[in-house]
Amino acid sequence: MSGERPGAGAGAGADGGAAPVVSAGAGADRGADAATGAGVVPYRSNFADGTPGFGGLLRAEWTKFRSVPRWVLTLLAAVVLTVLIALITANGSERAVAGGGEDPADSGASADFRIRDGGHFLYQPLPGDGELVARVTELTGTQDWAKAGLMIRAGDEAGGTYAALVATPGHGVRLQTGFTQVAGERAEAAVPRWLRLTREGRTVTGYESADGENWSRVGSVDLTGLPATAQAGLFVASPDEVHVDRQFGGESISQEPTEAEATFDGVTLRPESGAAAGEWQDRARSLAAGGSATRLGPDAFTLRGAGDIGLDPGFADDSARNLLEGALAGLVAVVALAVLFLGSEYRRGMIRLTFAATPGRGRVLAAKATVLGAVAGAAGAVAAAAAVLLAGPMLDGAGRVSLTEGPVLRAVLGTGLLLGLVAVLALGVTALVRHSAAAIALVLLPLLVPRLLAGGLPLNAAEWLQRLTPAAGFAIQQTVRRYDTAIGPWAGLAVLAGYTAVVLAAAYARMRRRDA
Amino acid sequence: MRRALRAEWTKLWTVPSTGWLLPAVVLLTVGAGAAAMAAVDVSQCPSPAECFEDTTRLSLDGVRLGQAAVAVLAVLVITGEYGTGLMGLTLAAFPRRVPVLLAKAGVLAAAVAVAGTVAVLGSLAAGRGILPAGGFTAANGYPGLSLADGPTLRAAVGTVLYLVLVALLALGVGAVVRDTAAALTLVLSLLYLAPVLASLMGDQRWRERIEEFSPMPAGLAIQSTRGLDRLPIAPWPGLGVLLAYSAAALLLGTLLLARRDA
């Protein structure tokens, strides 16, 4: 190597020194042309076509990114910080759950916020298969979603497996199970109404009828984990009433328990085995919350119950989302990185070299966006997954989150998408304004400020703020639909993607027209 | 010192970004405040008197957005010089480094104070126009905003001081970090991330502790005119917390500037 270079240099020098890296042969040609002035032979480089393929471009941008130790460290620090905040959050929320459990208003619910297992249940054991029939003659409650009907469940404890066939004042007859599913509904049916619930093995099927003779099927559910002897009986529930008031410059939300009262007659429990009927008993945990049952006759009862069964949609604590909020710290770091990734090239003049190597502005921008989006997205997904894996088990009961749940997985991968999109957005803004301070302020403020202002604004205005600004992208982290949910997860991410696409297109147009 | 002040004054006024950023402080503050006020009316409360709305604080809410322009301006005052290499020239002209930073701080504070005063007066004037339309009238227990009212005067003066302190905090961070992107990211995170993280804390005590000791929530306590006993930190001590942050950042910046190679 050291032997070749002086030779090449000497050759170029002898030909006039115009092009130091030209081979001796080409230099000689040019010298001859200049001397004779005859037909000009255009210069052709001996190197292969200088424009690298898109793959080579990606590799160049990746090298630029990874070879700055400060940037790589910042990215790692962002991941660590995200996980750390998740751990702190998980620690804090544990205490809050423990405190909430002592609240008497919550005694109808399980110890966590996500599910409600209230209402009153009057039951007796159902050995093996069988059917339960009753007529709801009257249902009084202030809520549309008050429920009166039949239930088969594994046992008395909170959060157990169940299937309930219920009539409601406003939403017909429905068969519901678990804490998230509705197995079937017949919206037109109204009280008084005959209801029939049958068990065959693991399958529980619900029927309803106006006269007790012509039955129509509502739906059926497959209950795994239902013991051989299940508990079957009558059930009344009434969801809490929610008030949203504006006070002290913020929203105050209060929940008041409501009661429903229902009268049943024609109550018959027919085990297939023909076993004798047992004693009716009240569910102990709902007696404490004000539930009661009165026997009116041999097969007629009146039940009063408070609290609801099912997922608590309004106030469910979105514990997965809380764990992932630490990604905000990662987001800030990613914005700074994205701005520096392009901004420092402009400041140091490196961009001219980049454009000299690849004159296509669009290709450079696309390569930068791809590398940056992929790096930020990977960091975001890794940080989110680590946060859920490490901090998830620290949460209590059903608030515990695991990666195998669909919505949680969506939130974790979505956090990666969110960070990737924000990085590309920041890149586009930097290409537009070419000023790092302006770019950082223009990207960070629309992401952070809506969340701050939202606290002091009425729900309605706050929701619009979270729908229209790029901050809508944070919706991808939600796993539970709450009373204050402004926009669906994918729709929210689409809003952010829209902003990113518009900014990137404008950046491309600007880059093409403007001198570097 | 007078020459240093004069030099900094010239530098600040001849940079085009200043001409953008100072009006931006006023526009963002008044605009965001007006939008916040327009979004609120008494019909959202159980009864008009039961809103317990702190109308002064609400009208000055736009400062949360306006302070971002202040932070950008203050960071650029110092990192802009490092970025272009002007700092070497400045220090060649004024070899004593402490007065250079003090002069920058003085000029910046004066400029931000003027812009902040205009922004605060504009916000209060907007409040006088917008709030009664939302039902926040004297008849409902919300007297019109007036600087003759003690707590409102405190909130108005305090908000201007808040903006000045934010500027000094950003200047100090800029002197420590010397890079525009890094300094601005740090300042904006310090201001905006802390309250968001506070809202994540399930534990009320931790939430209040964070709000008590982070610059923005503590500093903005100065805007409160009613329900003072419900605040995590009282108005003046809250501004004191921000002052401590600004003083610490400036002190560290001065020390580093004096000892480090530029």
Of A245, A336, A448, the CB nearest to B182: A336
Contacts of B46 in chain A (CB under 8 A): 245, 247
pLDDT of residue A448: 86
Q: Which amino acid is at B129?
A: G
CB contact under 8 A, A448 and B192: yes
pLDDT of residue A104: 32
Q: pLDDT tens, A52-72? A: 688 888 888 898 888 888 889
Which residues, in sequence order, are CB contacts of A55 under 8 Å at separation 6+? none
pTM for this prediction: 0.73
A513 touches chain B (CB under 8 A): no
Contacts of B194 in chain A (CB under 8 A): none
Rounded Cα distance between A324 and A413, Å, is 11
A466 touches chain B (CB under 8 A): no
Res. B256: pLDDT tops 50? yes
Return the residue of B nearest to A82 by Cα: B197
pLDDT of residue A97: 40
Contacts of A82 in chain B (CB under 8 A): none
| pLDDT interval class at A429 (50, 70, 90) | very high
The nearest CA of chain A is from the CA of B51 a distance in Å of: 5
Rounded to a whole number of angstroms, the CA Rg of chain A reads 34
Q: pLDDT tens, A314-336? A: 666 677 777 888 888 889 999 99
Instruction: Count CB-CB contacts under 10 A for residue B150.
Output: 9
**Higher-pLDDT residue of B60, A458:** B60
Of B61, B72, B200, the CB nearest to A456: B61
How much is the average pLDDT of A298-305?
88
Of B17, B61, B196, the CB nearest to A448: B196
> Which among A421, A434, A424, A419 is positioned nearest to A385, based on CA atoms?
A419
Res. A1: pLDDT tops 70? no
Please check whether residue A396 is in contact with residue A97, taking contact to mean a CB–CB distance below 8 angstroms. Answer: yes
Q: How far does chain B reach from its first CA to its final CA, in angstroms?
A: 20
How much is the average pLDDT of B223-232?
80
Rounded Cα distance between A391 and A28, Å, is 71
Of A325, A335, A449, the CB nearest to B64: A449
Res. A359: pLDDT tops 90? no
| pLDDT interval class at A8 (50, 70, 90) | very low
Contacts of B51 in chain A (CB under 8 A): 246-247
Of A95, A247, A249, the CB nearest to B202: A95
Mutate to test the interface with A, among B58, B166, B192, B223 (most CBs of A within 10 A): B192
The nearest CA of chain A is from the CA of B7 a distance in Å of: 23
pLDDT of residue A250: 62
How much is the average pLDDT of A458-478?
84
B203 touches chain A (CB under 8 A): yes
pLDDT of residue A317: 66
**Higher-pLDDT residue of A174, A247:** A174
B195 touches chain A (CB under 8 A): yes
- For a pLDDT cut of 90, what percent of chain A falls above it? 19
How much is the average pLDDT of B228-239?
84
Q: pLDDT tens, A176-234? A: 887 656 677 777 767 788 999 999 888 899 999 888 888 988 888 888 878 888 889 99
Contacts of A246 in chain B (CB under 8 A): 40, 44-45, 51, 53
How much is the average pLDDT of A274-284?
80
| pLDDT interval class at A88 (50, 70, 90) | confident
What the block records as the tokens of A226 is: 């239902």
| pLDDT interval class at A239 (50, 70, 90) | confident
CATH class of A115-311: mainly beta
Half-sphere exposure of A474 (CA within 13 A, CB side): 25
The nearest CA of chain A is from the CA of B50 a distance in Å of: 7
CA A190 to chain centre: 37
Return the residue of B nearest to A71 by Cα: B182
> Which among A197, A167, A161, A192 is positioned nearest to A179, based on CA atoms?
A161
Return the residue of B nearest to A320 by Cα: B200
B75 touches chain A (CB under 8 A): yes
Rounded Cα distance between A96 and A101, Å, is 9
Least confident of A412-416, A461-465, B108-112: A461-465
| pLDDT interval class at A100 (50, 70, 90) | very low
Domain ranges of chain A: 54-93+317-513, 115-311
How much is the average pLDDT of A128-147?
87
CB contact under 8 A, B69 and A441: yes
Res. A510: pLDDT tops 50? yes
pLDDT of residue B106: 93
pLDDT of residue A398: 54
- For a pLDDT cut of 90, what percent of chain B falls above it? 39
Return the H-helix or E-strand segment holding A459.
Answer: helix A459-468
Mutate to test the interface with B, among A88, A94, A112, A453 (most CBs of B within 10 A): A453
DSSP string, A406-456: HHHHHHHHHHHHHHHHHHHHHHHHHHHH--HHHHHHHHHHHHHHHHHHHTT
B127-166 residues touching A, CB cutoff 8 A:
none
A92-121 residues touching B, CB cutoff 8 A:
92-97
Res. A240: pLDDT tops 90? no
The complex scores an ipTM of 0.85
Rounded Cα distance between A257 and A238, Å, is 8
Contacts of A347 in chain B (CB under 8 A): 83
| pLDDT interval class at A493 (50, 70, 90) | very high
Instruction: Count CB-CB contacts under 10 A for residue B28.
Output: 23
pLDDT of residue B123: 93
Average pLDDT, chain A: 79
